[in-house]
Amino acid sequence: MRIDDERDLHERLEAAFEAIIPRPAPIDGAVRRGKATRVWRRAAVAAGVAAVVAIGVFAVPSLLHRSATPTPVTQTGRYTVTVQAPGPHSPPGLIALGTIDGQGWQFIAAKPGTSGAGPGGQFFTTFGPAFAGEATSMPGTALAVYGAAPVSFFELTCGPVQVQYGAVRADVTYVAVLLDNGTTLILHPVAVYGVRAVAFAIPVGAGVVEATAYSRHGEIAAAFPFNDPSGTADFGVWLTPGQHGLARASGRIGSGSTITGSTWSATAYLGPWGICIQVSGLGIACVPTASGLGSGYWSLTQGTLSVAGGGAPASTARIFVNQPDGTRTTVRPVTLGGQRLFAFQLRTGPKRLSWTDYDSSGAVVGSMPG
């Protein structure tokens, strides 16, 4: 790239930032990472996103959610993508750039706490013809490394494109991402406001097969994300060399109807990513394992409907849930891939949610809070 081209890019990006009025992006979901203790951080956009509550899940980023009903996805592998790190004269905040089917894209981070993001927040901008040519700014949690994960991936979608991005640990020299079209993208960390970060953009519906983080001495860990029905990849558990994740399994873990007559159902998908639960009409929540929930739970809310759930000890036969409105709900867990999982409709009220796990003889085998 010539110096004049670099200066032109710099000026165009600065102009884009100045022209942007922060607003919810035209996306299915948005930047997703929250501040709940010990969960996969996913910050929602300002409006229209399902609420999530998760307590005591896992030290590595381990709970995500997605709003809106998943759209049909056809993963054909018929696409071309490239990615590269910014050059030495690139504007501050540019994490990565590349192409999707020949259309250029850039992904830019604003300085944390600016543009109305507030403490611990950060705005991110998608820019270029791959995103329909419009610069769109979205709020999220400021880039940071969470727990022991070599890469703490965030995710957003903008039109037909999904962007995976996040901070990397100090010992990560590069990340190799294998896609379902056979392409391997090499991500080189870039210093962005004191944090080393990587990013890549691919079509919604493209599958991510594996991401592997490397240090100077070799492989650190690999992640096998859950490519969910909405067409995006959800990163979760990172496995060290020789470590095995959960076997793949899926099945319904709960269903019900509301007083208005609408119905809901929760389906769990197990695999090397951990456990992802899709609730019809509400979104997706993911945790590392049922045991990783400890004395916590997950929940998804959209409008007046809330659905929650968790994991139970292997000997659990039934669960008595003490609802926030003071009523009691009886739930029976389902075994999938060696995990005992359950879901129930969560009622609103002033009291604290709790439950007790019982085995077939009536003995208490667990509780939440523990």
The two structure tokens encoding residue 288: 């590392």
Nearest to residue 252, comparing CAs of 266, 270, 269? 266
Give mean pLDDT, residues 112-132.
90
Say how far apart CA 153 and CA 39 lie, in whole Å: 13
DSSP assignment of 255-280, as one string?
A: EEE-TTS-EEEEEEEEETTEEEEEET
Q: For the segment 303-323, what is each residue's pLDDT rounded down to a tens digit?
A: 889 999 999 999 999 999 999
Q: Are 183 and 175 in contact (CB under 8 A)?
A: no
Q: For the segment 353-367, what is each residue's pLDDT rounded down to a tens digit?
A: 999 999 999 999 999
For residue 218, what pLDDT is reported?
Answer: 97
Which one has a higher pLDDT value, 326 or 3? 326
Could you tell me the domains of the chain? 3-33+61-239 (no CATH), 249-368 (2.60.40.10)
Which one has a higher pLDDT value, 266 or 25? 266
For residue 77, what pLDDT is reported?
Answer: 62
Ranked by mean pLDDT, which of 164-168, 257-261, 279-283, 297-301 comes out on top? 164-168
Q: Furthest-apart CA pair in the chain: how many Å?
A: 77
Q: Is 25 left (phi over 0), alpha (psi -120 to 50) or beta?
A: beta
For residue 17, what pLDDT is reported?
Answer: 39
Q: Residue 50 pLDDT more than 50?
A: no
Give mean pLDDT, residues 249-269.
91
For residue 214, what pLDDT is reported?
Answer: 98
Q: Residue 58 pLDDT more than 80?
A: no
Which amino acid is it at 230? S
Query: Residue 168: how many CA atoms within 13 Å on its side-chain side?
Result: 27
For residue 294, what pLDDT is reported?
Answer: 66
Give mean pLDDT, residues 275-294.
84
Least confident range of 40-54, 123-137, 249-263, 312-326: 40-54
Q: For the segment 140-149, what is each residue's pLDDT rounded down to a tens digit?
A: 889 999 888 9
Q: Are 299 and 54 in contact (CB under 8 A)?
A: yes
Say how far apart CA 36 and CA 287 lie, in whole Å: 13
Q: Residue 16 pLDDT more than 80?
A: no
The DSSP letter of residue 6 is: H
The alpha-carbon radius of gyration of the chain (Å, integer) is 21
For 347, residues 6+ apart whose C-beta sits below 8 A from its C-beta are 306, 323, 324, 325, 327, 329
Distance of CA 72 to the CA centre of its chain: 19
Confidence of residue 132 (pLDDT cuts 50, 70, 90): confident
